[in-house]
Amino acid sequence: MAIRANPKLIDELQKFGADDVSKCYHCGTCTATCQLTEGESIFPRREMRLLQMGLESKLEGSVDPWLCYYCGECSDECPREAEPGETMMSLRRWLTSRYDWTGISRLIYRSWVAELTIIILMAIVTGAFFLAMGFWKGDIHDYDGPDAFLQPGDTWFTVIPKFWTRGGLGIHLFDWLLAAVLVFFLGTNCIRMWWFSMGRNPDVRFSLWAYIKNIWLLPFHFFTQKRYAMCERKTPWAVHLWLMLSYVTMLILIMLFLDFMWSGPEIDWWVHAFGLTAAAGLLITSIVALRGRIVKTETHYEHSHESDWMFLILLLIVTCTGIAQFFLHRFGSDVAANIAYVIHLMAVVPMLGLEVPFSKWSHLAYRPLGMYFHNVREDSAPATQPVREPLGAAQAA
């Protein structure tokens, strides 16, 4: 298969936040420093070289950027200040834009103005829609009664009739429609990731058994972020894991247990305990991450991309308004609770509809997939090649 060089690839990557890759002279210090490189995964040195050579298709098919967690040690040790850690982060943005067939990722990663404009428009449309539905069918003075301003609906099967009969919009229906949109775009982009990294080379085939054998790595790395714990600096791993688990917990509660989360003013501790714990996790970790980017406490905070700020600010708004609506309702301020909930939804929609499938949150899917594909490649290698231990096997043992 012929390989073409793109002489403008370095310039292209700089639009995704990379530093001047041409500073690198391939001393190998970055790879020698990295705790996560092993076998043929000699990042970030190889990625720096591929960028300098303009080998775009090679980089498109690489999963190595997803094996890096950007602890910042490689950038600290680089004698040329070429910022290899930030280059790997920029490559993840660039790869995300390659996987995305809609072009939205490319647009918002290259222009913070475009991203902010889309977020504001989505928020305005969402707010107008829910206010209209609420005033049409409900009472803003009623939070969870028969005339609730925005009624969640009891179950998936009863929510559609409630949409037309009482209590305003069936929030369950809206949640599931939003989830379906999210899964469609992120799922199709994940398929494109497989195509770029595993499927499009006709000369390479990977064994079905390797796919089956390594499938456990997807949930393992998703829920533990175990490779991040291998880095010398443990605090970023702990914050990252706490943030991810809090987000997943809250997403499950909202998608499957919304009626219990909504009910009150009495507190159903068996479900609200999980919700309050997840909310505390989201609040604390988002503040820690924002503070780190403001005061630049760690190397990986020194070159924050605009999309990082958007994602964290949205997350903070969603968390604060969610907590506010919970306590306002419990203290009897139903009008304020309804207003807080509309503002909450105005931030939820761009966060789930834009940030998850097209921006920072998509890494939750791409990173475990990258590790999974890496191991499928390793296990499918010809017997004549040296046998290498798959990523995650040693850690899980």
**Structural domain contains residue 387:** no
Looking at the structure, tell me whether residues 40 and 152 fall in a common domain: no
Looking at the structure, tell me whether residues 193 and 247 fall in a common domain: yes
pLDDT of residue 173: 77
pLDDT of residue 93: 96
Residue 227 binned pLDDT confidence (cut-offs 50, 70, 90)? confident
pLDDT of residue 29: 92
Tell me what the pLDDT averaged over the chain comes to.
85
Using H for helix, E for strand and C for coil, what is the string for the chain?
CCCCCCCCHHHHHHCCCCCCHHHCCCCCHHHHHCCCCECCECCCHHHHHHHHHCCHHHHHCCCHHHHCCCCCHHHHHCCCCCCHHHHHHHHHHHHHHHHCCCCHHHHHHHCHHHHHHHHHHHHHHHHHHHHHHHHHHCECCCCCCCCECCCCCCCCCCHHHHHHHCCCCCHHHHHHHHHHHHHHHHHHHHHHHHHHHHHCCCCCCCCHHHHHHCCCHHHHHHHHCHHHHCCCCCHHHHHHHHHHHHHHHHHHHHHHCHHHHHCCCCCCHHHHHHHHHHHHHHHHHHHHHHHHHHHCCCHHHCCCCHHHHHHHHHHHHHHHHHHHHHHHHHCCCHHHHHHHHHHHHHHHHHHHHHHHHHCHHHHHHHHHHHHHHHHHHHHCCCCCCCCCCCCCHHHHC
| 8 A C-beta contact, residue 65 and residue 196 | no
| 8 A C-beta contact, residue 66 and residue 372 | no
Looking at the structure, tell me whether residues 203 and 275 fall in a common domain: yes
Looking at the structure, tell me whether residues 221 and 287 fall in a common domain: yes
Looking at the structure, tell me whether residues 196 and 78 fall in a common domain: no
∠ CA 200-204-206, nearest 5°, is 100
**Per-residue tokens: 200:** 């499009």
Looking at the structure, tell me whether residues 84 and 110 fall in a common domain: no
pLDDT of residue 150: 80
pLDDT of residue 206: 87
Looking at the structure, tell me whether residues 83 and 151 fall in a common domain: no
**Structural domain contains residue 135:** yes
Q: Which domain holds residue 43?
A: 9-99
**Structural domain contains residue 50:** yes
pLDDT of residue 154: 45
Looking at the structure, tell me whether residues 193 and 301 fall in a common domain: yes
Looking at the structure, tell me whether residues 21 and 136 fall in a common domain: no
Residue 152 has pLDDT above 90, yes or no: no
**Structural domain contains residue 384:** no
- Closest by CA to 206, choosing from 66, 39, 373, 369, is 373
Looking at the structure, tell me whether residues 231 and 277 fall in a common domain: yes
Residue 161 binned pLDDT confidence (cut-offs 50, 70, 90)? very low
**Structural domain contains residue 41:** yes
**Structural domain contains residue 383:** no
Q: Domain end: 32, 67, 99, which one?
A: 99
Q: How far is CA 115 from CA 9, 183, 232, 233, in A?
A: 23, 20, 34, 32
Query: How far is residue 9's CA from residue 109's CA, in Å, rounded to a whole number?
Result: 16
Looking at the structure, tell me whether residues 75 and 117 fall in a common domain: no
169/28: higher pLDDT:
28
pLDDT of residue 166: 39
Looking at the structure, tell me whether residues 60 and 129 fall in a common domain: no
Q: Domain end: 99, 130, 152, which one?
A: 99
Query: How far is residue 123's CA from residue 351's CA, in Å, rounded to a whole number?
Result: 10
Q: Domain end: 81, 99, 117, which one?
A: 99
Query: How far is residue 225's CA from residue 41's CA, in Å, rounded to a whole number?
Result: 18
* pLDDT > 90 fraction of the chain, expressed in percent and rounded: 50
- The string of pLDDT tens digits covering residues 179-212 is 899 999 999 999 999 999 998 877 778 888 999 9
Q: How many domains does the chain have?
A: 2
In 331-348, which positions are buried (b, 16+ CB within 10 angstroms) versus exposed (e)? eebbebbbbbbbbbbbbb
**Per-residue tokens: 134:** 């609420």
**Structural domain contains residue 391:** no
**Structural domain contains residue 3:** no
- The string of pLDDT tens digits covering residues 117-145 is 999 999 999 999 999 888 887 888 888 87
Q: How far is CA 117 from CA 98, 109, 354, 360, in A?
A: 22, 13, 12, 17
